[in-house]
Structure 1
Amino acid sequence: MTDFNTLIFDLDGTLIDSAPGIINCMRHTLTAMKFDIPSDFNRFLGPPLHNSFAEFFGMNENQVNEAVKIFRERYKEKGLFENVVYDGIPEMLRRLKNADKKLLIATSKPEVFAVKIMENHQLAEYFDIIGGADINGSRNEKNEIIEYVLKQTNITELSRVLMIGDRSHDIIGAKKCGLSSMGVLWGYGNREEFLQHGADIIVNTPQETADVIINPSAYCTLT
C-alpha cells in the first residue's frame, strides 16, 4: 500500500459527530419555510447544504439561498457548538502528527465555522490548513474544496495524498482530484456506499486508520 505523507480529512462524520447541530438547524429551517419535516435526517448529513435542499426538497435557487441563510443564522449561534469529537480522534491525530504526516481538512462546512469548531475542541493545532466552503457560495463542491487546500499547500505529488471521509461525496471528490480515498465506518456512511463509489481503503476505527497509514507495508488494499 502507498506510503501517504499528506492526509486530507473531512470534518462532519469523520472527526466530529455534528448530527445534533445539523438536524436541529435543518428542523428550524424547514419549519420557518413551511416544508414538511422528514422522519430521517441521515441523508442530509455530509453533503453540501445547497445540494441537500435542492435535491431532497425540490427547492428552486431562490428557496435554496433562503434556506441556507436561515440554516447558517441558527448554526452560528447554536449549531456550531452542538457536536462532539468521536472517541479515538485526538489519539489518532497525535499518532499521525508524530509520524510526520501533513494533516489538512477539506469540509463542505463554511471555513469560518470549521476553524471555530476545531479551536473549540483544541484540535486546530494538528492541522496545517483547515479548508472549507466559501461563505458566499463560490466554493461548495467537495472537489473544489480539496483543490483549494491542495493549492494552499503547493502539493504536487498527488500519489501520496489520501482523502479520508465518511460519505460518497468524499470519495467522488477525491477521484475528481486524482487522489486515493479512505472511507471510515464510524460516521454517517456505510461499506456499500464506499464500495459503490470505489473507495481504495475502508476502515472501522480511528485506531485502525492510524495503523494503516503509519504501517502501510503491513496492509494490502483494504476494502
Structure 2
Amino acid sequence: MQFTTLLFDLDGTLTDPKVGITQSIRYALDKMERPYSPNASLDWCIGPPLQESFAILLQNADPVVGQEALRLFRERFSTVGLFENEPYPDIHHLLAQLQAAGLKLYIATSKPAVYARRIVAHFDLAPYFLMVYGSELDGRFTHKNELIQHVLHTENLNPAHTLMIGDRKHDILGAKANHVTAVGVTWGYGSSEELRAAGADKLLHQPTELLHFLNLA
C-alpha cells in the first residue's frame, strides 16, 4: 500500500519523556498527600490520558479530584518537566529521510498541543512536521480516536493512505477506529503483546525499520 501521510505519536515514539512525566506525577501526588513509592514504576502512565492514570493512582474516579491532580502535574511539567526528555537515537535521521522522500509528516499526541509544540521546537524536530496536533487543556482530543479523526478531517487526509506510528495500544486503537493502518514501535512504553492485542499491522523494533516498511531503504 502506498502511504502519503504519516502520523507520529510523540511520547515513547519520537522522544523519551520518562523523567519529566514520572517526576511531575510524583509531584502532583505529593501535593495531594498521596505519595507514591519511589521504588514503584510509573512507566505505565506514559502514553495513556493522564486523567485515566490519576484515577487509578488515587483510586478515585471523581473528575474534580482528577482535574486537581492534573493541575498540579501541569504546575511542574509546564516549567520543568517538558524538557526532561530526549529524542530517541536515529529519530532525526529517520525524519529527515521521510521528509526527503516527499511524505507528509504530522504529530498526533494525547499530550496538550501547547506543550507538544514547545517540546518539538526545543529538540529541533519542528522542521520535519507540517503541524503538531495534540489535546486541548480543556480535555478535547485527549483520546486518540477523536484526535486522529480531527487530524484527518482538518487536513483532508485519505485514511487509506495514512499511517499511524505509536508505542501504546491507544495509538493503534485510535488508528483502527478511523480505518488507518497502524504500526507499533517497541522502543517506547508499550509491550509487543499490548501492541499486537490492539491490532497493530506491524511491529518495529528500531526507528530505521520504518524505512524498510515503507520501501525507502
- TM-score, L = length of structure 2: 0.95
Aligned to 1:221: none
Matches within 5 A, 1:21-60: 21-38=20-37, 39-59=40-60, 60=62
Output the amino acid matched with 1:141. H
Aligned to 1:84: 86
Q: What is the alpha-carbon distance in structure 1 between the residues aligned to residue 11 and residue 199 of structure 2?
A: 21
Structure 1 counterpart SS, 2:36: coil
Q: What is the alpha-carbon distance in structure 1 between the residues aligned to residue 15 and residue 53 of structure 2?
A: 20
Aligned to 2:2: 3
Q: What is the alpha-carbon distance in structure 2 between the residues aligned to residue 56 and residue 69 of structure 1?
A: 15
Structure 1 counterpart SS, 2:78: helix
Output the amino acid matched with 1:122. D
Aligned to 2:135: 133
Shift of 1:96: 0.5
Asked whether the 8 Å contact 1:15–1:89 carries over to 2, the reply is yes
Q: What is the alpha-carbon distance in structure 2 between the residues aligned to residue 46 and residue 93 of structure 1?
A: 21
Deviation sequence 1:170-206 (CA, Å, 0-9, x none): 1111111111100001111111111111100111111
Matches within 5 A, 1:84-103: 84-103=86-105
Structure 2 counterpart SS, 1:172: helix
Asked whether the 8 Å contact 1:165–1:184 carries over to 2, the reply is yes
Output the amino acid matched with 2:153. K
Asked whether the 8 Å contact 1:16–1:86 carries over to 2, the reply is yes
Q: What is the alpha-carbon distance in structure 1 between the residues aligned to residue 72 and residue 27 of structure 2?
A: 8
Aligned length: 214
Structure 1 counterpart SS, 2:41: coil
Asked whether the 8 Å contact 1:129–1:149 carries over to 2, the reply is no
Gaps of 5+ in 1: 219-223
Deviation sequence 1:5-40 (CA, Å, 0-9, x none): 110000000000000000110110011111240411
Q: What is the alpha-carbon distance in structure 1 between the residues aligned to residue 52 and residue 109 of structure 2?
A: 14
Gaps of 5+ in 2: none
Shift of 1:57: 2.9
Q: What is the alpha-carbon distance in structure 2 between the residues aligned to residue 116 and residue 203 of structure 1?
A: 27
Aligned to 2:168: 167
Aligned to 1:16: 15
Point out 4+ residue stretches in structure 1 off by more than 4 angstroms: none
Aligned to 1:181: 182
Asked whether the 8 Å contact 2:152–2:159 carries over to 1, the reply is no
Output the amino acid matched with 1:193. E
Structure 2 counterpart SS, 1:137: coil
2:118 to 116, 126, 129: 116
Shift of 1:114: 0.4
Structure 1 counterpart SS, 2:214: helix
Asked whether the 8 Å contact 1:96–1:214 carries over to 2, the reply is no
- TM-score, L = length of structure 1: 0.92
Asked whether the 8 Å contact 1:99–1:214 carries over to 2, the reply is no
